[in-house]
Amino acid sequence: MTILLPVPDDWQAQARAARISTAGLLTHLGLTPADFPAGVIADPDFPVMVPPHFLAQIRPRDPADPLLLQVLALGQEARPQPGRLTDPLEEADYRAAPGLLRKYRSRALLIASGACAIHCRYCFRRHSDYGATMLTRAREAEALVAIAADPAIEEVILSGGDPLSLPDARLDALVTAIAAIPHIATLRLHSRTLVAIPSRVTEALLQLIASTRLSVVIVLHSNHAHELSADVAAAMARLRAAGATLLNQSVLLAGINDDAATIAAHCRRLFACGVLPYYMHLTDPVAGAAHYDVDEPRARAIDAELRAMLAGYLVPRFVREVPGRDSKTPLAAL
């Protein structure tokens, strides 16, 4: 039996309502553990989080729904997975100050929050100790001093978790402090929240984007056209009107978006929403997520097919993040 739940209008209420048990998620969708060959995990270490808006986009009674398979804790997570890591990108090696990662010459990344509106089961930071690594008010000054001391840094990237899990006032204060550093020209925010809770686009957020001297780039994280509801499209239009440049990054996921037709439909839908496809990431070797992997030969075949189907500006760049390299590595160079 499917249980219909109301979708709160307030984004913070949606975030609070995101915590749901595996059993509760299946009951809501009219499914049972027996619908999944490997079963499900009843109480995973990485909790199931699905905001009501995202949940409303999942097809009931469909165990193969591509949105459901991104958030449901499947039994494969508990199986032995040799060679899988809890820090697959070796981010501990790049910490330049509390909450600050320096992977790239001209960019600095701030772990602005440890919270996220939705828990994607393939997340490369699913094992992160955010209490030790994220930016806090007490640590902020040290991170900003480090950025200010290096004029090679032109862009500050807010990541997490999800930076848009921060309240508007806290986000405004952080962005204002970043904008006070003269050599920073661009602010980039990476967010899955905008797909999971499009009502996160508040008037205060729009005012922040419109008023900062920084060029604002927002990188949406969407993997499938079904995630891009009318509410998400409306939120993207408001962000663009405020002056933000909108890009999207996806992850290539087995059984979810690992065919050219599905990706092409997604790219067309993104463009209709005013969002330009940017990256298609191959999965990282994070512990618990091996069942999402798509091998490189398959990825190359999909990439080639997409190039024959779409205009070049609609084809995302297929890449893998390789620890120690000073940029993402194109699939062709792997």
pLDDT digits (tens, 9 = 90+) for 126-137: 998 887 888 988
- Tokens 């390789």: give the residue: 322
If you count them, how many residues does the chain have? 334
Neighbouring residues of 211: CB distance < 8 A, sequence distance ≥ 6: none
Q: Alpha carbon 54 to chain centroid distance? A: 14
Mean pLDDT, range 314-320, rounded to an integer:
98
Domains of the chain and CATH, by start: 11-78 (no CATH), 91-333 (3.20.20.70)
- DSSP secondary structure of 114-166: S--SS--TT-TTTT--HHHHS--HHHHHHHHHHHHT-TT--EEEEESS-GGGS
How high is the pLDDT of residue 279? 98
DSSP symbols for 210-223: HH-SSEEEEEEE--
pLDDT for res 102? 93
pLDDT, residue 7, reads: 58
Query: Phi and psi (nearest 5°) for 178?
Result: -65, -45
pTM (2 decimals)?
A: 0.95
Confidence of residue 332 (pLDDT cuts 50, 70, 90): confident
Q: What is the pLDDT of residue 289?
A: 96
Q: State the pLDDT at residue 4.
A: 43
pLDDT digits (tens, 9 = 90+) for 247-281: 999 999 999 999 999 999 999 999 999 999 999 99
Question: Could you tell me which of 134, 128, 29, 113 has the C-alpha nearest to residue 71?
Answer: 29
